[in-house]
Structure 1
Amino acid sequence: MSEILSNPETWVAVSFVLFFGLVVYLKVPGLLGKVLDDRAAKIKADLDAAAKLKAEAEAALAKYREATKNAGKEAEAIVVEAKAVAEALAAKAEEDLTQALARRVELGKAKIAQAEANAIAEVRKVAAEAAVAAARELIATRLDPIAKERLIGDTITSMATRLN
């Protein structure tokens, strides 16, 4: 037996058995299993979260692609609508300009007609004044006093009938 105790392989075997006995006694395999299970659960949760994030990212990408596709269509619709509004505004502005020009032409015609009427009245006034002055001059220089008195009497009589 002393041979067995002096043999280093025996002590290695005993140490090996004691080590594994201690490991089993301290429940190290259960602890290792629990740690590995916890780590596996954490990895599974991380994989599930990653899969969820991937699905959300794919949904967001699909939504973005749809939005960009729709944005192009909306931009075209906005351009078409803007052109229609611009054309309508241009037509309205042209119509307003035409109406304003027509009003100005009518106003100009009215001013011209008024100026013509004023000019005719002024010419008539000047002609009447010239005729009165010429008649006064003729009467003063060519009529004798008896004809003057008769003319004044006739004028007063005609004025009385005209004023009534």
Structure 2
Amino acid sequence: MFQSAEFWVAVAFVIFWGILFYNGVPGKILNQLDSRGKRIADELAEAKRLRQDAERLLKEFEAKRSAAEREAAEIVSNAREEAERLAREAQEKMADFVKRRTATAEAKIAQAEVQASAEVRAAAIDAAIKASERVLRDEITGPAAASLVTSSLNDVRTKMQ
């Protein structure tokens, strides 16, 4: 038995493990493994917390972005409505201005027509009176002629006007 190689390998193996246990190597290895496992667990927890923070921030920024997009769309819509309203008002004012100017021009034209007609009528009356006076003076003579010419001219003047 003492001469067997297997025996001495077994004795050396037991002594080796004895020295290891005496120096506390398995405890140190277990402590290192435990501390490494704890450090990895802490890093995983930190990574999980950071991921949750990142997801929360992403949701906040997406909410802010969607709110900003809605606000921008509302601003554009309001601006478009305001522009359309201003265009309608300008068109209405322009149409009203054109109507007033047209009415004013038509009134001036009508007034000018009335005035021109009155002037033509007055000129025709004056010409007719002068022609009648000349004809009557040339053909009728005497005091009866003068009174006839005067009364006739007065009658013509009142009827023509």
* Structure 2 length-normalised TM: 0.53
Question: What root-mean-square deviation, in Å, do the aligned CA atoms of Structure 1 and Structure 2 show?
Answer: 2.9
> Which one-letter code corresponds to 1:133 in the other structure?
K
Following TM superposition, where does structure 1 have runs of at least 4 consecutive aligned residues deviating by more than 4 angstroms? 57-65, 152-158
Q: Which runs of 5+ in 1 are unaligned?
A: 1-53, 159-164
Counterparts of 1:120 and 1:156 in 2: how far apart (Å)? 22
> Which one-letter code corresponds to 1:97 in the other structure?
M
Listed as ranges, the matches of 1:24-103 within 5 Å are 63-103=60-100
CA pair 116-156 structure 1, distance change in 2 beyond 3 A: closer
Is 2:126 aligned against 1:129? yes
CA pair 157-85 structure 1, distance change in 2 beyond 3 A: closer
Partner of 1:120: 117
The count of aligned residue pairs is: 103
Identity %: 32
Counterparts of 1:134 and 1:141 in 2: how far apart (Å)? 11
Counterparts of 1:95 and 1:65 in 2: how far apart (Å)? 44
> Which one-letter code corresponds to 2:94 in the other structure?
L
Partner of 1:16: none
Task: State the 1:63 CA deviation.
Answer: 5.0
CA pair 85-153 structure 1, distance change in 2 beyond 3 A: closer
Q: 1 or 2 for the larger relative contact order (CA 8 Å, sep ≥6)?
A: 2
Q: Secondary structure of the equivalent of 1:105? A: helix
Cα deviation 1:104-139 (Å, max 9, x = unaligned): 111111011101100111011101110111112112
Counterparts of 1:137 and 1:104 in 2: how far apart (Å)? 49
Q: Secondary structure of the equivalent of 1:144? A: coil
Task: State the 1:87 CA deviation.
Answer: 0.9
Instruction: Give the counterpart of 1:108 among 105, 126, 138.
Output: 105
> Which one-letter code corresponds to 1:131 in the other structure?
A
Q: Which runs of 5+ in 2 are unaligned?
A: 1-49, 156-161
Task: State the 1:77 CA deviation.
Answer: 0.6
Task: State the 1:62 CA deviation.
Answer: 5.9
Instruction: Give the counterpart of 1:141 among 138, 142, 146.
Output: 138
